[in-house]
């Protein structure tokens, strides 16, 4: 079944009781991920989507497409609903997957799990998309970039949840900086919320001055070299640049979130390298694209940091993010410790 427009929000929170699964696709992978998480919370609220689900990739099914059928038919050993997540980065097995979706839809009694498929932008000729749109018990949900009005409401709703206001002028200035990437927008709103006290400061309000000081792109010329120094192991240069940035009132929270966002993109490119892409091809496949003048540095970092090291770095960033959300957290010291820890690791890899 095809779910479009305003129906999507209601569908994600109240899907039909006989829904077997859904295909979520579109150019905004951050939005695909967010909507998949919302649907999983409804379909299988007792399952940890990161650790309690069976996760398959397109490469898994390239050699054994029948595995999807097996996983959907297998009963849970512990009882309750099972969850199968399929990350569809290519459609080399598209015809086989479409055939399985049709078979499951035709006989729901054979299905013991719920299926969530996350994909990129699929054309109308896609076999998997066609199968989901034609099914009675599988939804096809296109995830396209939000318009300015929806983005405006997203920002206001999240800040309202934390008791933080935002002026109309600030929204007018902020929204154009967040177009086209749902994950970027969510990260920027969280960063702003931290900057304004994360709900601990009564009467906090985001103004145009806050947006100019903190929003994506506003401090990029000062922050990007700091991130490159950290991930390249240039300790002396990092120390000097970080001190200058702090003295110039660059927010440590902004530096932290820019670093975390950069490492997330490196993780995505590293995963493509694991599937056989070169570092350069993996870099050029990212959306939004890496700025051409920064491409060589990005590729060099990919070649220096393997997937395991990048995932560890991302975990460290997430730990610091939780600490930053604590009342009275020393943001400058926490961010500095994170940066220098990563830089020391990179320096050891350069010396090896």
The CATH fold assigned to 2-142 is: Rossmann fold (3.40.50)
**Mean per-residue pLDDT for 90-96?**
91
pLDDT higher than 60, residue 261: yes
Query: What pTM does this model have?
Result: 0.58
- How far is it, in rounded angstroms, from Cα 4 to Cα 24? 11
pLDDT at 95: 94
pLDDT higher than 90, residue 190: no
pLDDT at 51: 54
pLDDT at 56: 93
Under the banding of pLDDT at 50, 70 and 90, the label for residue 71 is very high
Dihedral pair phi/psi, residue 108, rounded to 5°: -60, -20
pLDDT at 21: 95
Taking the domains of the chain in order of start, what are their residue ranges? Answer: 2-142, 149-351
pLDDT at 219: 52
Structural tokens at position 60? 């898994």
User: Best-predicted range by mean pLDDT among 83-97, 190-204, 288-302?
Assistant: 83-97
153 or 178, higher pLDDT: 153
The helix (H) or strand (E) run that includes residue 55 is strand 54-57
Under the banding of pLDDT at 50, 70 and 90, the label for residue 20 is very high
- How far is it, in rounded angstroms, from Cα 121 to Cα 23? 11
Structural tokens at position 250? 């660059």
**Mean per-residue pLDDT for 306-328?**
88
Q: What is the DSSP letter of 15?
A: -
Rg from Cα positions in the chain: 22
The helix (H) or strand (E) run that includes residue 35 is helix 29-43
Q: In terms of C-beta density within 10 A (0-12 exposed, 13-18 middle, 19 or more buried), how is residue 338 classed?
A: buried
pLDDT at 22: 97
Structural tokens at position 278? 């070169």
CA atoms lying within 13 Å on the CB side of residue 184? 20
**Mean per-residue pLDDT for 80-90?**
87
pLDDT at 99: 96
Tens digit of pLDDT for each residue in 278-290?
A: 999 999 888 777 8
The CATH fold assigned to 149-351 is: Zinc Finger, Delta Prime; domain 3 (1.20.272)
């Amino acid at each position: 079944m095809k779910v479009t427009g305003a129906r999507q929000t209601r569908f994600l929170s109240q899907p039909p009781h006989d829904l077997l699964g859904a295909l979520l696709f579109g150019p905004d992978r951050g939005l695909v991920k967010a909507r998949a998480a919302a649907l999983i919370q409804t379909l299988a609220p007792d399952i940890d989507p990161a650790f309690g689900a069976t996760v398959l990739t397109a490469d898994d099914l390239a050699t054994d497409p029948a595995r999807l059928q097996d996983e959907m038919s297998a009963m849970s050993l512990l009882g309750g609903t099972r969850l199968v997540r399929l990350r569809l980065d290519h459609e080399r097995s598209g015809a086989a997957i479409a055939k399985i979706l049709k078979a499951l839809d035709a006989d729901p009694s054979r299905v013991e799990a719920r299926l969530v498929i996350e994909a990129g932008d699929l054309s109308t000729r896609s076999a998997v998309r066609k199968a989901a749109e034609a099914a009675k018990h599988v939804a096809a949900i296109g995830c396209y970039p939000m318009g300015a009005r929806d983005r405006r409401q997203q920002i206001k709703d999240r800040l309202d949840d934390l008791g933080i206001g935002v002026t109309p002028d600030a929204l007018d200035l902020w929204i154009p900086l967040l177009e086209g990437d749902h994950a970027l927008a969510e990260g920027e709103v969280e960063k702003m919320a931290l900057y304004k006290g994360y709900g601990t400061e009564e009467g906090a309000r985001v103004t145009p001055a806050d947006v100019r000081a903190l929003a994506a792109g506003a401090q990029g010329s000062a922050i990007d070299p700091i991130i490159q120094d950290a991930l390249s192991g240039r300790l002396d240069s990092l120390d000097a640049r970080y001190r200058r940035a702090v003295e110039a009132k660059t927010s440590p929270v902004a530096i932290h979130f820019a670093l975390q966002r950069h490492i997330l993109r490196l993780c995505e490119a590293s995963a493509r390298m694991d599937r056989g892409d070169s570092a350069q091809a993996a870099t050029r496949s990212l959306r939004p694209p890496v700025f051409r003048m920064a491409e060589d540095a990005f590729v060099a970092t990919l070649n220096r940091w393997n997937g395991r090291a990048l995932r560890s770095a991302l975990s460290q960033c997430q730990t610091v993010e939780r600490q930053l959300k604590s009342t009275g957290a020393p943001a400058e010291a926490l961010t500095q410790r994170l940066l220098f820890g990563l830089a020391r690791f990179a320096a050891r890899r350069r010396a090896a």
